[in-house]
Amino acid sequence: MSKKIVIAGAGIGGLCAALALAKRKFDVVVYEQSRQLGEVGAGLQLSPNAMHVLKALGIADEVKAKAFCPDSAVMRHYRTGKPYFTVPLGDNATQKYGANYLHIHRADLHAALHNACINMNVSIHLGHAIQSYQQTLKNLTIQLDNNESIIADLLIGADGIKSNVQACMLGQTAAEFTRQVAWRGVVEANKLPKELIKPNANLWVGPGKHFVSYFLRGGDLVNFVAVQERTDWQKESWNEPGDITELRETFVDWHPEVTELLKATEHCFLWALFDRKPLKQWSDRNVALLGDACHPMLPFLAQGAAMAIEDSYALAHCLAADTNTQAALQTYQNIRLPRTRNIQLNARKNAALYHVSSPIEQAKLSILSGLSSMGISDKIAATKLDSIYAYNIVEQLN
């Protein structure tokens, strides 16, 4: 008899886990607190390590058809535009890592996962949040927010940084405000001067803030994320409207590629960036955590979605390979925790570099700038990214 697996959360991590498990013939039910599906937000970056999983799950071609493939990743000085480094992507990344590096609208990835789940007969219940769980030697009982209880063989908490499943497992603890906020928006490319935005993953770094821009949907849209250090904003909602005039003023003295993009922006969102220290425990007998529920990622390595996608494949693999659920979940944790912890911590370190937060970071950027003309900084940056992008969990586990 197939195990009944309940997943808390129908975001990218939850749906990817549902799809991976359904393809392994598990009976999967997803509960999502939102009353309407459709990921709020804008763009995200899918590096080759994530694309290996999406290919194994059968949706890589659909994702690629709706995405944009950037030429390079480039980090520049916020005012002069001088590059600190350039890392080739495009065909170079495909040949080097065996999969594409893509930019995609979050809603497009979410839709592809959702459609694939429906085709695999995954049951998705909207407007229902999982509040807590209780376990005995015989039963796992899950409580919903409408006081209904359900019995399952396994519970996966993919319910984000404020995870109720994590709180039930490890105790209630508050996520930490990083004293950084992120502005996010999307602009139609035809509203911008032609060739203003380069077909890259564009990163501009400066004192106390940084700015990222890239194309979506084959070049029809331009996505941006602007991160600023400040202490007076702690709303974490993805759909909290931002003041576009304030955003323009915040980046008023930046390179024209940034200021012209913001001039054409009509709407933006603003949310606070929260973080948690890496966890030492992801599982509790027949309950496990996944994605932001166990390793929230600051957006300074663009690996939040990718890590949840990798988690999903590893979880499904471990559960299919071992009929002892508790042993399988411990194996899953052992495989995933070291990698996600390392990327979590490195993303934190990048915040200091991107915001020129200390004399040491200023010196690092100065050295990179001096080495850029010789191509040495490009090789240094590429080497640092290799450990992330070259990882192929599908190949590793099969």
Helices (H), 106-163: 106-119
Single-letter code of the amino acid located at 15: L
Sheet architecture: strand order including 176-188: 83-88, 72-77, 201-206, 209-216, 221-229, 176-188, 269-275
Q: What is the DSSP pairing of strand 154-157 with strand 176-188? A: unpaired
110 is written with which tokens? 């979410």
Single-letter code of the amino acid located at 100: N
In 3D, which of 22, 7, 1, 2 has the Cα closest to residue 291? 7
Instruction: Out of 31, 101, 133, 214, pick the active-site residue.
Output: 214
193 is written with which tokens? 């001067």
214 is catalytic: yes
Quote the CA–CA distance of 112 and 144 in Å, as a whole number: 27
Q: What is the DSSP pairing of strand 27-32 with strand 123-126? A: parallel
**319: phi then psi, degrees, rounded to nearest 5:** -70, -35
Contact indicator for 210, 229 with CB cutoff of 8 Å: no
Contact indicator for 270, 228 with CB cutoff of 8 Å: no
Catalytic residues: 214
